[in-house]
Structure 1
Amino acid sequence: MSVLARKSIVELAAYKPGASAAIKLASNENPHPPLPSVVQAIAEAAATVNRYPDNGALALTEAICAKYDVAPEQVALGCGSVTLLEQILQAYCTPDEAVVVAWRSFEAYPIVAEVVGAHLALVPLREETHDLDAMLAQITDKTRVVIVCNPNNPTGTAVGRDELTRFLDAVPPHVLVVLDEAYGEYITSPEIPDGLEIMRGRPNVCVLRTFSKAYGLAGLRVGYFIAEDPEVAGVVRKTMMPFSVSSIAQAAAVASLQAADELQVRVSEAVAERDRVTARLREGGYAVPDSHANFVWISAREATDEIAGRLMDAGIMGRPFAGNGIRITIGTPSENDAMLEALGC
């Protein structure tokens, strides 16, 4: 008799990272290397990797607190925001309890929920955007967590301040609302709220962010979680695997927070390219919603595979979702021009 694994895990569709290509526009990575000051911090931290990292990540926690005016007790760290999400569900959900998410949204959400064993309620998007009223209708006494990906991955859309405020005010106090803001640094519209601001005064709201995108530290895997209620963050810290955020990742993240002006230059360049690419795609006849992230979404529906094939023929990798659309990361101007040319724009 063979060793028996959980049936739900055996049947679970594994997360698939973007495949290799001459031009990779599939994983929403920052196309630029870390800033020179960050590289220097990485080099210095490398000299001490014979020691375990600071499990409490004191320096990084203090830097986050200083930047966002929160207390250390409100902060939790993890090996990327995905791992933090798993920590949250482990802390708050049992197998007979539920998580509500929009769909299509970040493809790791169903995987994490299944691994934890929580029931998952998928609520279809409305016009490529979270349908918060429909999500609210799915909340029951069994619901423990609701995830709002804002901006949404993979569509790039975002819900506005008034709509999100009404939603948060209507969510029952027993439900933890997770505002996943992995792409928050790329928001420029004044109508899209800063999750940390809208979190204030709401003890059942928390915010997830990462250093993988705008900060360009995807290879180091470090994310952070801020909760209005320190007890919420404290519970999440208890589910963190010891030493999961490496000393190099901590040093790089601290150095990145200290280079805010340089970071903003790169973000502004990415936003300008995003707007240019969006306009060119629309001129070429493609349906592209307004994006608030570092990628664009082509609502291709049944033409998704054909568009992905055209890109692959040109050596370009996007992220297709069969029958829905294709997500294309904003790369360097030359990479973006190659993509636009491949699509006849």
Structure 2
Amino acid sequence: MNLEALIPEYVRGFQAYVPSKPDHLLMREYGAPVLHRLNNNENPLGPPPAAARVIAAFPPERAAVYPSGDCHDLRQALGVRLGLVADRILVGNGSCEVISSVIKAFCQPGDNIITADKTFAVYEWVAEFSGIEARLTPLHDYAFDPQAMLDRIDRHTKILFVCNPNNPTGSSWSRQVLVDFLEQVGDDRIVVVDEAYREYVEDPDYPDTVGLMERFPNLVVFRTFSKMYGLAGLRVGYLAGTEAVVEVVRRTSVAYSVNVQAQQAALAALEDDCEHIAATRALVRQGKAMVGDACRDLGLETVGGEGNYLMIRTPINDMLMYRRLMRRGMMVRTMTGFRFPGWIRVTLREREVMERFVEALAEEVDMIRNKQGVAA
């Protein structure tokens, strides 16, 4: 079998994503008695109480029954929440599936998408392993640069992806910046605004993207239940757009991809999210202040705006710092893969975990600097 001959050129040169090992194997490998996950921006509070009750009470016999193929009840509830008819919403198996559906719906080989070079990498990955060019523009002051994106548009550009707030830098566009950008893009291509971390944003100038869709029918908005709503393990993401745009994307989406329990939990999460969101935001504010103060005392640069994470520049290679912190039970995200070599990203969690992280970081930084001083 000549397997190589079967593989498209754009797949042949693409490197598969390698996920981390299960926690119990990592603990054994690094000799860590505990492992605090500070790498995936998960919500330590878990899902809202109503969603937690649905998950706990899920009847086993429901596992034998197919879910709603188009997430009917969940779309209806989201429509009420967003003030949209349900046909303007499409739910997928996490935001990654939704990203893939949009690219498949509008792009073919020879087309291109535009996004930033230091952002959520799945836009780039899905485009490239689909044979679509991904044009990457540099960040400006750690934020998406609207002019740089506009400058890369040509007649083959189909989609522009804006992560707002940006993962991993936490920067966000104001309403006016987004409106100006949409006006200059025009209506000949799709603009996707990924709002995975929207619920963490407290800036009053953050744009109401759903409200802008009537003025800009080429605008598509992504949101998720993975972050604020603590349902990352159940994989529920969704998009909203005009009925015409969503109908096209629906043609390329996979029916029945969101399981029964995930749909029910997401539906319940919308019922009592106010206190949950407030509690999570308070936790994040406290963690951000604590880690930020500690890093200033250590002389370490940080970057972080909105979102439940903070980037920290390390005094050594980020992978080496990862290993040192792993031995102390602190699992952070190395940032070389995000094109930020020498940085780590830390999920902001409950006070006790942040205290342990700050202590571990300070001890490691002191040891590193002492060793560097001896070497000098």
Normalised-by-shorter TM-score class: over 0.9
Deviations 1:165-215 (A, max 9, x none): 211111121110000010100001123223323434210101000001100
Paired residues for 1:250-261 under 5 Å = 250-261=263-274
Change (3 A) 1:47 1:34: farther
Cα 1:301–1:163 change in 2 (3 A) is farther
Matches within 5 A, 1:176-195: 176-195=190-209
Residue range with higher mean Cα deviation, 63-72 or 42-51: 42-51
Q: Residues of 1 paired with 2:197 and 2:74: CA distance? A: 20
Alignment partner of 1:33 is 2:35: no
Q: Structure 1 residues 336, 17: closer, same or farther in 2, change over 3 A?
A: farther
Moved more, 16-25 or 172-181: 16-25
Q: CA separation of 1:212/1:314 partners in 2, compared to 1, >3 Å: closer, same or farther?
A: same
SS at 1:47 equivalent? helix
Residue aligning to 2:350: 332
Aligned length: 344
Q: Go from structure 1 to structure 2 and tell me whether the alpha carbon gap of 1:301 and 1:281 turns closer, same or farther (over 3 Å shift).
A: closer
Give the gaps of 5 or more residues in structure 2.
27-34, 364-376
SS at the partner of 1:318?
strand
Instruction: Please list the CA deviations of residues 110-133 of structure 1 after superposition, one character each: whole Å capped at 9, or x if unmatched.
Output: 211122221110111112111111
Structure 1 equivalent of residue 111 of structure 2: 97
The residue that corresponds to 1:238 in the other structure is 251
Residues 1:212 and 2:214 aligned together = no
Tell me the distance in 1 between the aligned counterparts of 2:225 and 2:60: 19
2:372 counterpart residue number: none
Distance 1:46-1:210 versus aligned 2 partners, 3 A rule: farther
Give the structure 2 partner of residue 2 of structure 1. 2
By how many angstroms is 1:56 displaced? 2.0
Write the distance in 1 (CA, Å) between the matches of 2:312 and 2:60: 41
Partner SS for 2:126: helix
Q: Please state which structure has a larger fraction of its residues in helix.
A: 2
Identity of aligned residues (%): 34
The aligned runs of 1:159-174 (5 Å cut-off) are 159-174=173-188
1:18 touches 1:26 (CA, 8 Å); kept in 2? Answer: no
Q: CA deviation at 1:8?
A: 2.5
Bigger mean CA offset, 309-318 vs 73-82? 309-318
Aligned counterpart, 1:175: 189
Q: Which amino acid aligns with 2:252?
A: T
Query: What's the counterpart of residue 101 of structure 2?
Result: 87
CA offset at residue 274 of structure 1? 4.0
How big is the alpha-carbon RMSD for the aligned residues of Structure 1 and Structure 2? 2.0
> How does 1:296-335 map onto structure 2 within 5 Å?
296-300=310-314, 303-322=317-336, 323=341, 325-335=343-353
The answer to whether 1:64 aligns with 2:66 is: no
> Is the CA contact (8 Å cut-off) linking 1:15 and 1:108 kept in structure 2?
no
- Which of 226, 251, 267 is residue 280 of structure 2 equivalent to? 267
Q: Is the deviation greater in 284-293 or in 80-89? A: 284-293
Is contact 1:99-1:118 (8 Å) kept?
yes
Structure 1 CA distance for aligned equivalents of residues 298 and 206 of structure 2: 28
Q: Would you say 1:290 and 2:304 are equivalent positions?
A: yes
In the TM superposition, residue 273 of structure 1 has moved relative to its aligned partner by: 2.7
Equivalent residues of 2:66, 2:256 under 8 A apart: yes
Give unpaired runs (5+ residues) of structure 1.
Answer: none
- Alignment match, 1:146: 160
- 1:248 aligns with 261
Hey, what does 1:15 align to over in structure 2?
17
**What whole-Å deviation, never above 9, does each CA across 1:204-252 have from its counterpart, x for those lacking one?**
101000001100001110111001x211011111111120011111100
Question: In structure 1, what is the Cα distance between the partners aligned to 2:61 and 2:348?
Answer: 34
Measure how far apart 1:300 and its partner are: 4.6
Question: Partner letter of residue 341 of structure 1?
Answer: E
Relative to structure 1, the CA distance from residue 301 to residue 203 in structure 2 (aligned partners, 3 Å threshold; closer, same or farther) is farther
| Partner secondary structure for residue 310 of structure 1 | helix
Distance 1:218 1:295 in 2: 16
Distance 2:342 2:84 in 1: 39
TM-score scaled to structure 1, two decimals? Answer: 0.93
Distance in 2, matches of 1:299 and 1:138, equals: 30
